[in-house]
Structure formats: C-alpha cells, structure tokens
Amino acid sequence: PTRMPSVLPSFAPSSTHSNIPSGSPSLAKIMFSGTSSILSLFVGKLDLLWSPATYSTFGSIDNDFLYEIFLAKGKFNFTSSQYAGSLSALRSEFNTTDTTLRRYHSTLATSFSVSNLEAGEMYTVLVVASADVLSSENRQSSEVLISDKDPTLKEDINIFRPVDANEFLSISLVNQTLVMNGKIPADITNLQQNDFIAGTTSYGNPFMIKIIDVAEISSEYINSTFK
C-alpha cells in the first residue's frame, strides 16, 4: 500500500530517530543535497522533490531519515552563521504558530507537497535530513513564487486524447478526414470540435491532429475532419 507522508505542524514538538548504524556512529555524517525540484503549478500549492539522504560512512539506508521542511514567506537567510552546524536554532525559530514561518516533517524520502500558501507570494524553502542527533549540513535554500492560477490549455483546445490503432481498432487519415473503425476507446466516443488527438495509424504512422468537425460518431465508428 502507498505510504502517506507524516506531517507535523510547526508548533509540534520535535521527534528523533535512532537509526544511526552501529559501528562508528560518531564518524558518520548525513549526506543530503536538498531539493532537486521545486514547482508551484497550482494555486497556493508547492511541490518538492529530492533524492534520499545517505550516511557518509555506511551508504544509503532507506527510510531512516526524517526530512524537515522549513518554509518562510518572503526572503529568509538560512545560511546565516546562527543556523550553521545544528538544527536547534532553526527549529526554535520555526517553532511558532506564525504562518509566515512553517515547519513540516516527512518520512517520505522523495517528495512533499504544501497547500494553502498565499498565491502570488514568494517563499524561501529549505529541506534538511536528520536522524537522532545528526543532521545534514546543507543550508542553501531556494526561492519560489507561488502560482496564482491553475494551468490551463489554450482557449481553443478542449482536451488532448491519445489513441493508437490495434487489432481491434483501425485508424486512417485521408484527405483531412479521420476514420476509426472497431472498438473505440470510451474517452474517444465523446470527441468534440477543437480536441487534439495523437497516436499511430493502422499503417504505423504517428500523427497529431486537431478536430475541426465530427460528422459521425459511435462506439464503433468515427468520421471527422481535422487540420
């Protein structure tokens, strides 16, 4: 089953892990480069991606790390000397009910999403990996502008539909006319003007067309013009 990330609000007490490998834990360091992708494609939402952290002397140990996400509205200097070396100062700074300083925890080792952010505003984000008394030393943050609108297709495009010919469905394109015969996919049977279709014909030729008019359509036959 899919594991959902565990999330604690900024004012929740810190939790610790005791997953440092046996051997020479005092020599281990957590190697973590922070976020690899930061996107805000939808209103008020931020999506973060990163590669899992590793122990410098023991290699990768999946799911051992707690990822701490620090999110500040506006600019925030995470590289300040007061935040170097230990997470204590950062945890203390973000241990607040002030929504301009948010702190989250995640045990999901690849991604995290934050919603209900202020649309059109800039945020500074830092992700740090920790385990027990250890934490990664990365303090390079990123700035991102939160989207104030959801992504949309062009106004004259309804939807994009993929379809390929197969043993049960023939597709031909002749003289600006699209003809399909056979078992028509359900999402194609409501084909409309200005829809885009892409796929391969019965002859193995790739295509991408824009529908101009649908002359005839059923669960077994489609005749339409395109450009």
- Give dist(CA 223, CA 227) in Å, integer: 14
Highest mean pLDDT among 92-96, 116-120, 191-195: 116-120
Q: What average pLDDT does the segment 198-202 reach?
A: 85
Q: What average pLDDT does the segment 175-196 reach?
A: 86
Residue corresponding to tokens 């830092």: 126
| Percent of the chain's residues with pLDDT above 90 | 24
Question: What H or E segment, with its residue span, contains residue 40?
Answer: none
CA 226 distance to own-chain centroid:
34
Return the pLDDT at 159: 67
pTM assigned to the model = 0.58
Tokens (6 digits) for 6: 């565990």
- Beta-ladder partners of 36: none
Q: What angle do CA 23, 19, 34 make, to 5 degrees?
A: 110
- Give dist(CA 187, CA 201) in Å, integer: 18
What are the pLDDT digits (tens) for 120-156? 999 999 999 998 888 899 999 999 999 998 766 555 5
- Give dist(CA 166, CA 73) in Å, integer: 52
Is the Cβ–Cβ distance between 21 and 61 less than 8 Å? yes
Is the Cβ–Cβ distance between 19 and 133 less than 8 Å? no
* Dihedral over Cα of 111, 26, 56, 143: its sign: positive
- Beta-ladder partners of 31: 54
Return the pLDDT at 60: 52
- Give dist(CA 128, CA 105) in Å, integer: 10
First-to-final CA distance of the chain: 45
Backbone φ and ψ for 42, nearest 5 degrees, come out as -120, 155
* Dihedral over Cα of 1, 111, 68, 27: its sign: positive
